[in-house]
Chains A and B, each alone.
Chain A
Amino acid sequence: MTIAASFEIEYLQYLDATGKATQTDLPEFARDLDHMVDLYKTMLFLRVFDTKSIALQRTGKLGTYASCLGHEAVYIGIGSAMQEEDIFAPSYREYGTQFIRGVKPREVLLYWGGDERGSDFSGPIHDFPWTVPIGTQCLHAAGSALAFKLRKEPRVAVFCIGDGGTSKADFYGAINVAGAMQLPLVAVIVNNQWAISTPRQAQTGAKTLAQKGLAAGLESLQVDGNDLIAVRAAMDHALKRARHGHGGSVIEAITYRLSDHTTADDARRYRDDAEVKAAWAREPMLRLRTWLQLAGAWDEQREEAWKVQCGQRMDEEVNAYLGTRTQPLEATFDYTYAELPTDLVEQRTAALAAESASH
C-alpha cells in the first residue's frame, strides 16, 4: 500500500494556563503592551457584562440569556483581528467580538429582553444577527464570502460555531463550498466541550474538530482558545490568507463553557463539579493578567479601577435597556415584507383595533 494523502493538525499556544510564554517569539501585535492591555480590558468588561446580564435574568429583568463565561479570549481574539468591512456571522453568545465591532451592550440586552431591535444593532450594517437555529449562520457566511469573491472585494466572512454545531449539515456544507470555491471564509469552532448536556466526544468520532476542515480542503488548526494571543495570531493569519485570495480556514479554539448553556439550563444535572473546577484553572483571564503584570503593564490597582469603570458603564447600559419602551404592536407587522401586502394590512388593522378596544 502507498499513502494517498496524509495530514496533521497543529496546536497553537503562546501562553499556558499559568501565564507563562510557551514560545520564545511572540507575534508582533503581542509586543505592543498597550494594545494587549486594551484587549485585556475588553475581556474584563465582557465578564462584567456577563455577570450583570445573568443577574438581570435572575431578577426577572431579562429573558433567557446565553452566557459567554470562559469564552472571552476567543471572542476578543476574533474581534480584534477583523476589519470593519469583514462580516461576522455569530451564533448567540459572541458578544465580545460584537462589542469590538460596535454592537452596544444595551442591544444585546434588548435582544434577550424580547425586542427585535436588539438585532438592528450599531455594529456593521452587514453583520448578521444572532442565529439560534444551530449552524445555519455558517452558510450565510459562506454566501457572503462568495459575494465578496464574485465582486472582487478584499473582505472576509467569519463565522462562529460550537462543538455541537459541527455535527450539522450546514457546517459541513459551508466549509465544503468554501474549499470547492476557495472562498474568503474563516470558520471558528468554539469548542467549549458541551452542547447543552452532550459532551464533545459524543458529537463525533473525529479526534479533532479542526480536521473536519481538512476534509473540505481548508487550512485547519487547533488553538488554545483560552489564550488570547494564540486566537488572535491564528485569526490574523487566516484573515490575511483569505483576504489575499488564498482560501478559507478552520480554527478550532479549545475552551470551556464555565456557565450553564443558558440561564434556562442547570449544568449540574449532567457534569461534574470537579471538571468545572479543573476548567477554571485554565480560564482565559488570569493567565493574560499574570503575563501583563509580569511585564509591568498591569497591576491590582488598575484592575480594581477598571472594574469600577466597567460597573459604571454597565449601569448606563442597563438603564438604557430598561428605559427602552416596548415597540408598538404594528412593529409585529411592519418588517415582514418591504411593503405590506393587502392581506397583512387587514390583519394589522384588526390587531390595532383589538388592542385599542382592550384599553
Chain B
Amino acid sequence: MAQVTLIEAVTLALAYEMDHDAAVIVLGEDVGINGGVFRATVGLLEKFGPERVIDMPLDETTIAGVTVGMAAQGMKPVAESQFEGFMYPMLDQIASHAARLRNRTRGRMHVPAVFRAPWGGGIRAPEHHSEANEAIFTNIPGLRVVLPSSPGRAYGLLLAAIRDPDPVIFFEPKRIYRQYKEEVPDDGEALPLDICFVLRDGNDVTLVTWGAQVKETLEAADALADSGISAEVIDVATLKPLDFDTIHESVRKTGRCVIVHEAPRTAGFGAEIAARLAEHAMYDLVAPVQRVTGYDTHIPLFRLEMKYLPSVQRIVAAAQQTLAVS
C-alpha cells in the first residue's frame, strides 16, 4: 500500500482506469512526454502509448469539443485543462454539448467524459492561474462538479468520475496537491459521487467547505476546540449534485453553520447551501448562517493572495459569531 500525495492519487486513478478500460484515454496540453505541467499524468505515456495519452494542439476549445465528439462515439476521454482559469473557452462546448447532449437527443447520445483541472489559489502562480470558478459549472444542468480534498478522496472520486456515464468537472485543489501523503490502496475502489464527507464530528457549529479550504477549516476546528467549542467539519466534495441531507443532519445537531470557500461570495456555491438551509433548516438554526469566502474581487496577484483566501482566523471569528447568538 502506497503513501501518496493528492496529485499522485490522481495519477494512480488515471492509470488504474486506463489499465482496466480500453475506452479511457487522456488528452490535453503537455500531458504526454511532459507528464502534465503539474505531473498529474506522469508515466502514463510510457505505460499506455501516444494513442491513449494524447498531446493536443494548444487550444482549449478544441480539447473540449474533441472530448465531446470522442465521448459521443463511445470513448471515455479524460481531458486536462492546465489551469482552471483556462477553462473559459471550453464553456460553450461543456454547457451547450457535454452537459446537454443526452437531453437534446432524449438519451440517444451521451458524453461520458471528465474535464480535469488544477483549481484555486495559493501557489504564488501568475495571473489567471488561481481561480475558484466552480460555481459557474454548478449552475449548468447535466454536469457533476467534484472537488476532492485528500489523496484518498481524489483517487476514489476520480475513478467514480471516469466511470460515470455523464460529464464530470473534476477540480483538483492545487494548493494541497503535495501538502501531505496518506495511504491509498490502489484497488480500483470508487467513492460515491453524491455524498458529503464528515471529516470531524462536533456539536456546537457546523463548518462546511471544499477543496483546499478543508485545510484551514480543520485548523480552525482545532483552534475552536482549544477554546472549548466543538466544530463539525464537512467536506462537500461533490458540489453537484449536492448531498444536502448530510449538511442538514449536522445543522440539526449544531444549530449553527459557517460556509467556507475561496471563490467570490456573490452567487458562490455557499449561497446555494445557505439558501437550502433557509428553505429546509430555518427552525433548526439558532444563529444566522455565516459565509467566509473570497471577496467579490478578482483574486489578487500572489503578493496579496493569501490575504484574499479565507484564513483560519476569519473562520474562527465567523464560528464565534454564530456562537455569540444564544
- Please list the residues of chain A having a beta carbon within 8 angstroms of any beta carbon in chain B: 87, 89, 116-117, 119-120, 125-126, 128-129, 131, 133, 136, 138-148, 150, 157, 169-170, 173-174, 176-177, 180, 331, 335-338, 341-344
Given A136-B93, A174-B62, verify A117-B69 contact (CB < 8 Å). Answer: no
B73 lies within 8 A of chain A by Cβ = yes
Q: In this assembly, does B301 line the interface, its C-beta being within 8 Å of a C-beta of chain A?
A: no
Contacts of B25 in A (CB 8 A): 150
A335 touching B103, Cβ below 8 Å = yes
- In the bound complex, CA of A174 to CA of B54 (Å): 16
A119-B71 Cα distance, complex, nearest whole Å: 18
Say yes or no: B105 contacts A120, CB within 8 Å.
yes
Known A177-B66, A336-B103, A342-B194; judge A170-B73 contact (CB<8 A).
Answer: no
Question: Does the CB pair B97–A116 fall under 8 Å?
Answer: no
Size category of the binding interface on chain B:
35 or more
Q: Given A143-B70, A146-B70, A148-B73, answer yes or no on A338-B166 (Cβ-Cβ < 8 Å).
A: yes
User: Considering only CB atoms, which chain A residue lies closest to B59 in the complex?
Assistant: A173
In the complex, identify which listed stretch (B32-40, B106-114, B249-257) lies at the interface while the others stay far away: B106-114
Q: Does B56 contact A (CB under 8 A)?
A: yes
From B103, B142, B166, B245, name the one whose CB has the most chain A CB atoms within 10 angstroms: B103
Complex CA gap A310/B104 in Å reads 29
A141 to B70, CA, bound (A): 9
- Which chain B residues lie closer than 8 Å to A147 at the CB level? 69-70, 73-75
Q: How far is the CB of A259 from chain B (nearest CB, A)?
A: 25
Query: Contacts A147-B73, A177-B62, A336-B102 hold; do A139 and B166 have CB atoms under 8 A apart?
Result: no
Contact assessment for B166 and A169 in the assembled complex, using a CB-CB cutoff below 8 Å = no
Q: What are 13 of the A-B contact pairs (CB < 8 Å)?
A: A129-B104, A131-B97, A133-B92, A139-B64, A139-B93, A143-B69, A144-B69, A150-B51, A169-B89, A176-B62, A335-B105, A343-B242, A344-B241
Q: Write out the residue numbers on chain B whose beta carbons fall within 8 Å of the beta carbon of A336.
A: 102-103, 141-142
B126 part of interface (Cβ distance < 8 Å): no
Question: Which of B68, B96, B107 has most A Cβ within 10 Å?
Answer: B68
Most chain B CB atoms below 10 A, which of A133, A174, A177, A335: A335
Residues of A within 8 A of B68 (CB): 139-140, 143
B43 at the interface (CB under 8 A from A): no
A341 lies within 8 A of B70 (CB): no
On whether A343 and B70 interact (CB within 8 A), knowing A173-B59, A337-B166, the answer reads: no
Q: B50-62 toward A: CB 8 Å interface, digit per residue (1/0)?
A: 0110101101011
In the complex, A116 Cα to B103 Cα: how many Å? 8
Known A139-B62, A142-B66, A342-B243; 4 more pairs at CB < 8 Å: A129-B109, A144-B72, A145-B69, A170-B92
